[in-house]
């Protein structure tokens, strides 16, 4: 009997919480129509970066694939020519695939990359209805060229891009 009275007094307390939150701003957001701002260092979907002149940073070395603990990355390389150049140096990634179902977003690929070409960006997470659609190919991963700059392949003058690995630019400490 004593318990009954206890229950009865607790009900208005609970309802008070309910009515209070009714007038508060909701926590849930309508993903994917609505998106939550993410930390710039968030390890989301991968992006293959480009240099300012539009050339791909990726040189097809497959060190990301070697570092990947989930065996999610597959790379096939090919040789650049001055007539058809994708990246600086002799080698570029002809095939670059990431199986997003396997990826555990650990970021080891970023660490392994000698040209900072692959970056896990705070952009939308990969979703899909089939397994095939979640194998991201190079065209899906590659960032668009900067405005007004042609994409790849480019025709380049001989001798200008004979080095695959360029000294890194200074690290941006703001992010």
Given the rule CB under 8 A, which residues bind other proteins? 59-63, 65-66, 74, 76-79, 89-91, 95, 97, 114-115, 162-165, 167
User: Three-state SS across the chain?
Assistant: CHHHHHHHHHHHHHHHHHHHHHCCCCCCCCCCCCCCCCCCCCCCCEEECECCCCCECCCCCCHHHHHCCCCCEEEEEEECCCCCECCCCCEEEEEEEEECCCCCCCCHHHHHCCCCCEEECCCCCCCCCCCHHHEECHHHHECCCCCCCCCCCECCCCCCCCCCCCCCCCCCCCC
Nearer to other proteins, 76 or 124 (CB): 76
Q: Which of 64/120 has CB closer to other proteins?
A: 64
Q: How far is the CB of 91 from other proteins (least distance, A)?
A: 4
- By beta-carbon proximity to other proteins, the closer residue of 83 and 124 is 83
Shortest separation between residue 92's beta carbon and other proteins, angstroms = 9
Q: How far is the CB of 140 from other proteins (least distance, A)?
A: 15
- Comparison of 59 and 103: residue with beta carbon closer to other proteins: 59
CB of 20: closest distance to other proteins in angstroms? 58
């Amino acid at each position: 009997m004593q318990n009954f009275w206890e229950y009865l007094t607790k009900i208005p307390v609970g309802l008070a919480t309910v009515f209070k939150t009714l007038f508060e701003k909701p926590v849930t957001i309508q993903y994917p129509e609505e998106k939550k701002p993410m930390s710039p260092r968030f390890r989301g979907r991968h992006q293959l970066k480009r240099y300012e002149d539009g050339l791909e940073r990726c040189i097809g070395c497959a060190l990301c694939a070697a570092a990947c603990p989930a065996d999610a990355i597959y790379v096939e390389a090919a040789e650049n020519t001055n007539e058809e150049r994708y990246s600086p140096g002799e080698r570029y990634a002809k095939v670059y695939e990431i199986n997003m179902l396997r990826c555990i977003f650990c970021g080891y690929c970023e660490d392994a990359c000698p040209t900072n070409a692959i970056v896990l960006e705070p952009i939308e997470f990969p979703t899909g209805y089939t397994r095939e659609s979640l194998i991201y190919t190079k065209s899906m991963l590659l960032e668009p060229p900067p405005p007004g700059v042609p994409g790849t392949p480019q025709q380049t003058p001989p001798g200008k891009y004979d080095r695959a690995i360029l000294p890194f630019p200074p690290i941006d400490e703001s992010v």
